[in-house]
Structure 1
Amino acid sequence: MDHHIKDIELAPAGKKKIEWVRREMPVLSGIAAQWKKDKPLEGVQIAACLHVTSETAVLMITLKEGGANVALCASNPLSTQDEVAASLVKDFGINVFAICGEDRETYYQHIDEVLERNPQITMDDGADLVSTLHQKGGSRISQVIGGTEETTTGVVRLKSMAKAGQLRYPVIAVNDADTKHLFDNRYGTGQSTLEGILRATHILLSGKKVVVVGYGWCGRGIAMRARGMGARVGIVEINPVKALEALMDGYEVMSMLDAAAWGDLFITVTGNISVIRKEHFLQMNDGTILCNSGHFNVEIDRDDLESVSVNRREAQPLVEEFTLSNGKKLFFLAEGRLVNLACAEGHPPTVMDMSFANQALSVKFLKEQASSLENQVYKVPDDIDMNVAHLKLSSLSIKIEELTPRQKKYLASWEEGT
């Protein structure tokens, strides 16, 4: 099977979407143009488990322009843009296994499909591809020279594997690049999360009490954007330093139980399990909205929510209404999956341009340097990170200052003082 998608006839609409976002991705497009000449990935087999969106399509096309053979599956059952999947197959000859709304069984069948192509390099978003490969083992894993990981959640899982001595090949944590998490996580997640919520609910954010659970880079971005739209923002954190930072950034900081009785809208971005549970649901106000922008649908405990509910119905597409035993109604978005991708289209291409440029250049780095790396999780090399930043500034026609020879000498010395 070369592909498994919803409908190949959706390709024309998908191609238009891809062409539209390419205009906002000049760094990756520039890499693709150069790679079309140089073919640095000639013959490399790549298995990718990423959100199948128009931005991801530009990355897949770039890898193919570089000479790679690419197979792509979805990293989330609800994030696939079916028309983009169709265009990748029909217009660009890329093997895609992804259907929006696929069940769990089909999701893992699609992961198996891309692994059956015996990849040399893996590209992951959440580490489901890598963990599946490691669990099934066999001869396939011995052919893999390295991989990349896009998300905070995936990096945490991979570092846990490495610490336990279970990671079988080196992985580059693209998420940890400055040109990824400082922009994609903060500005991309901040904007796209609120866009997903507004598309699904059409609520007015101004005046709402919004609780952001987790104050990492994603939480910072969401809180900043919510406040910018007039919301009153509360932060729930377990890390005392991040809690202090949130407080000094001007937000209310509170426990989850206190927040439950205070908030109107809850957004989880922790990467952890069951951060909103039974005792919290029972404290919430009538009409409270619950959603998640962390990678997996485990942050809001659905089993607990069902256990304290007497009725559930679909209020509108991707919005479930739960009537609790106390008579209050809670609204749960997108089954607890990534609200920015399930209810909207994910991060804007401008920020994904930098994230995926890091991905592409890290794949090239692995092809050339993987034999010298250990089975650990590595940062994106600094020269790649800085190069992506320079390329992005250049695409925006922005010039920055350069050190003079005297300044370089001063910074490298210790003799000069006051």
Structure 2
Amino acid sequence: MSDGASAGIDQRERGFLRLEWAREHMPVMAKVRESFQRERPFRGMKVAMALHVEAKTGILALLFREGGADVRLASCNPLSTDDSVVASLKEDFGLSVYARRGETNEEYYDYLNRVLDIGPDIVVDDGGDLVRLLHTERKDIDTVIGGNEETTTGVVRLRAMEKNGVLRFPMFDVNDAMMKHFFDNRYGTGQSTLDGIMNATNLVIAGKDVVVAGYGFCGKGIAMRMRGMGASVTVTEIDPVKAVEAIMDGFRVERMSQALRHADIVVTATGMKNVVRYDDLLQAKPGLILANSGHFNNEIEVDVLVSRSMERRRVRDHVDMFRLENGNRVYLISEGRLVNLAAGQGHPAEIMDMSFAIQALTARYLAENHHRLERRVYPVPREIDMEVARLKLESMGVEIDRLDSEQERYAESWEEGT
């Protein structure tokens, strides 16, 4: 569709088209939807969700409702909301959504509290703020039987709560499900981070010196995609095993203070605060571009960058220039927030198809088994991972081998040798 034609589409209609496009490219979710509409596993239950509010998450929210739930949805990041999708979810589907792009800090928490006002049975969180509120300001809510956590940052917080003995209900670590982190974190984050940076800057990647902070699955995906676009990639790490892995994968490994001296672009993906410090930026290569692909906007020392810089100026829609105390210039994309959603379109629909199928099926497992679960962090049951993998292969028209009866006996025996 030409720009002239699309200009005639209002915001609600644009959101509806984005939702329809996502639905059409999420075949695993389509299979889950069939069973949910038939079985209604969440009949009479209330689901509170805090996710990046865009087309793919909209389809997940609608899936919970199709499974019988009363659903409320808020954003888990002030800059990751697609306002057109919010408009369509409200007007076309009658969904209770509390989100807008560019929320203030006060609005962000007000919206999370409005979602919790439903008195949820199940929470679906991304980053851990919804669960944190339930353990601090909203202890009055005692209806929650458990929930799911989508991302690394939230899982780290949950494990700290479990270790400290304060977790009030069981939570599932969706992030570390095989069909989530193998594909969402690596291929989804890799592609969508590149999309956000290219959209924000309109600069070539080939020939650039790119530093990736963190070599978990997200960092691996970013490093892989950057190298595929022709960049020279350096990895920074605190984990010696991951550092060795990065070297064996063909990447240079350095400390951040050293890598900044030659970097053209730095992308953080660690889940840790202050990975890029202001004082180190004073020694950075002039014109450095900073982007964050971690959940929170604290991986780059943004507050100090704002307070100590001599000048701040918006130079592109998603890019601010900061002139440092020594006169050096650095460019920050999307205020240091999640670059793939704040400046891009988020993960591809086919990727989120698998991740959100994990979310939905794990929530069903929780609804059916919560009475025998303890107040701890659980892995996603292996059978759910295998079911999503099977449905994904089926949607791709791929068949794989199976063990015959003799092979099954062999696999379970120990007597037979050479």
2:92 paired residue number: 91
Q: Counterpart of 2:233 in 1: which secondary structure?
A: strand
List gaps (5 residues or longer) in structure 1: 1-8
Higher alpha-carbon deviation: 103-112 or 272-281: 272-281
1:119 paired residue number: 120
Cα distance in 2 for partners of 1:147, 1:202 equals 40
The answer as to 2:361 corresponding to 1:372 is no
Q: CA deviation at 1:317?
A: 1.1
Q: Counterpart of 1:235 in 2: which secondary structure?
A: strand
Cα distance in 2 for partners of 1:93, 1:310 equals 48
Cα distance in 2 for partners of 1:193, 1:138 equals 36
Q: CA deviation at 1:93?
A: 1.8
Task: Give runs of ≥4 in structure 1 deviating > 6 Å.
Answer: none
* Aligned Cα root-mean-square deviation (Å): 1.0
> Aligned partner of 2:90: which letter?
V
Cα distance in 2 for partners of 1:34, 1:172 equals 21
Q: CA deviation at 1:308?
A: 4.3
Q: CA deviation at 1:368?
A: 0.5
Q: CA deviation at 1:137?
A: 3.8
Cα distance in 2 for partners of 1:86, 1:307 equals 36
Higher alpha-carbon deviation: 18-27 or 209-218: 18-27
- Kept after mapping to 1: 8 A contact 2:60/2:360: yes
Cα distance in 2 for partners of 1:309, 1:47 equals 40
The answer as to 2:359 corresponding to 1:344 is no
- Kept after mapping to 2: 8 A contact 1:29/1:62: no
2:6 paired residue number: none
1:4 paired residue number: none
> Aligned partner of 1:73: which letter?
A
- Aligned runs of 1:266-285 on 2, under 5 Å? 266-285=266-285
Cα distance in 1 for partners of 2:106, 2:328 equals 34
> Aligned partner of 1:389: which letter?
A
- Kept after mapping to 1: 8 A contact 2:31/2:391: no
Query: Residue by residue, what CA displacement relative to the aligned partner does 1:281-317 show, whole Å, maximum 9, x if unpaired?
Result: 0111111100100000000001332354211111111
2:63 paired residue number: 62
Q: CA deviation at 1:408?
A: 1.1
- Kept after mapping to 2: 8 A contact 1:215/1:237: yes
- Aligned runs of 1:181-330 on 2, under 5 Å? 181-330=181-330
1:105 paired residue number: 106
Cα distance in 2 for partners of 1:375, 1:70 equals 24
Query: Residue by residue, what CA displacement relative to the aligned partner does 1:163-218 show, whole Å, maximum 9, x if unpaired?
Result: 10110000011101000000000000000001000000011000000000000000
- Aligned runs of 1:44-55 on 2, under 5 Å? 44-55=45-56
Q: CA deviation at 1:107?
A: 0.2
Aligned residues: 409
- Kept after mapping to 2: 8 A contact 1:126/1:150: yes
Q: CA deviation at 1:72?
A: 0.2
Cα distance in 1 for partners of 2:132, 2:28 equals 31
Cα distance in 2 for partners of 1:173, 1:103 equals 29
Q: Counterpart of 2:215 in 1: which secondary structure?
A: coil
Query: Residue by residue, what CA displacement relative to the aligned partner does 1:107-153 show, whole Å, maximum 9, x if unpaired?
Result: 0000000100100000000010000111024331x210011000010
The share of aligned pairs that are identical, in percent, is 51
What TM-score comes out, normalization by structure 1 length? 0.96
List gaps (5 residues or longer) in structure 2: 1-9
- Kept after mapping to 2: 8 A contact 1:27/1:357: yes
> Aligned partner of 2:179: which letter?
T
> Aligned partner of 1:101: which letter?
G
Higher alpha-carbon deviation: 153-162 or 86-95: 86-95
Q: CA deviation at 1:36?
A: 1.5
